[in-house]
Structure 1
Amino acid sequence: MAKSENNEVMFGARGRVGNLVVFKNFGNNQTVIAKRPRRPENPVYTAKQIEVKQKFREAVVYAKGVISNTDLAAIYQMFAKPGTSVYNLALADYCKSPEITLINASGYQGQIGNQITVRAIDNFRVTEVKVSIYDTVDALLESGLAILSANNLDWVYETSSLNTSLAGTKITAEAKDMPGNSTVETITL
């Protein structure tokens, strides 16, 4: 693969030249010259490949929706790096779910006002974190939204009900991002 930057002869060239090479434009002044991709005539896809293809189709629809919505496009534009379009950023955001890297329940003693901290990250933005507390027989004791802390990384949930039996209590955190992807993690005390 060859790259051509700021080349007045090749500037803006795109498309296929016979069956040999293709020209692609990236960024502001970058043209890539690559070998023409070949696809098999009758591909056989695995279940995982079909799942990935479907997810990508959905991501394309989401990204097109973002660029047609001026409010959403403006949010993505604020975080787009040079050479990255709003469309590409939205596409990548749809394809990646948030990660929960920590559920810190060291401050939880079963009392009202105790705090549980959840660290959730995403390639773009985590929009909400919901914390649920279940007793030893999986009955829901309480549930609610956590508040983003000042470090923009941790989400803090303040408990609102008593729990007299801590051993075996389950704390579940669910993080969501802009496209609605969610991740759920659970710890047991």
Structure 2
Amino acid sequence: MAKSENNEVMFGARGRVGNLVVFKNFGNNQTVIAKRPKRPDNPVYTAKQIEVKQRFREAVAYAKGVIGNPMLTEDYQAFAKPGLSVYNLALADYCKSPEITLIDTSNYQGQIGNQIRVRAIDNFRVTEVKVSIYDSTHTLLESGMAILSANNLDWIYEATVLNSSLLGTKIIAEAKDTPGNTTLETMVI
């Protein structure tokens, strides 16, 4: 493999030359010349590979939809770093679900008005967080949407139902992002 940096003759060259070599461009004015990869004529894919290929097809369709929607394009453009297109950011957003890193019940004693804090992050934006509270017999006590706090990182849910027995109480937090990916985390008190 050969690398060519800041070469005015090779700058922007990409694609293949016959069945011998391929030219690849990278964002920092770098062109790589490599041997053409060989692929089998009739590849056999595992179930996991087929699943990943299908997910990627869906991500491509989502990213194209974002590009076709001026409002979504504007939203993604505001988050796109230099060298990262709206299309690539939308593609990555579809492929990555939000992550719940914390369910804080230190301010929840089972009383109406007590708060549960959920920290949810995503590579683009978490759009909503739902909190459900179950008692020790797995009966749903309450469920509702949390409110994004001023730090734009934590979501606060305020209890609306009295929970007289905290021991064994199960808190389920569900975070959703712009493409609709969801993540569930459970905590038992």
Per-residue CA shift, 1:105-135, capped at 9, x if unaligned? 1111111110000111111111111101111
Number of the residue aligned with 1:127: 127
- Structure 1 spans left out of the alignment, 5+ residues: none
* TM-score of the pair, normalised by structure 1: 0.93
Amino acid at match of 2:77: Q
Per-residue CA shift, 1:128-180, capped at 9, x if unaligned? 11101111222211111111112221111111111111111110000011110
Counterpart CA distance in 2 for 1:38 and 1:100 is 41
Matches for 1:12-27 after TM superposition, within 5 Å:
12-27=12-27
Number of the residue aligned with 2:63: 63
Residue 5 of structure 1: how far off its partner (Å): 4.2
The percentage of aligned residue pairs carrying the same residue is 82
Q: Root-mean-square deviation (CA), in Å?
A: 1.5
Matches for 1:90-129 after TM superposition, within 5 Å:
90-129=90-129
- Structure 2 spans left out of the alignment, 5+ residues: none
Counterpart CA distance in 2 for 1:53 and 1:148 is 34
Per-residue CA shift, 1:35-83, capped at 9, x if unaligned? 3222111211111111111111110100111111111111111111111
* TM-score of the pair, normalised by structure 2: 0.93
Number of residue pairs aligned between Structure 1 and Structure 2: 189
Number of the residue aligned with 1:180: 180
Amino acid at match of 2:40: P
Number of the residue aligned with 1:81: 81
Amino acid at match of 2:130: K
Amino acid at match of 1:116: I
> Is the 8 Å Cα contact of residues 27 and 82 (structure 1) preserved in structure 2?
no
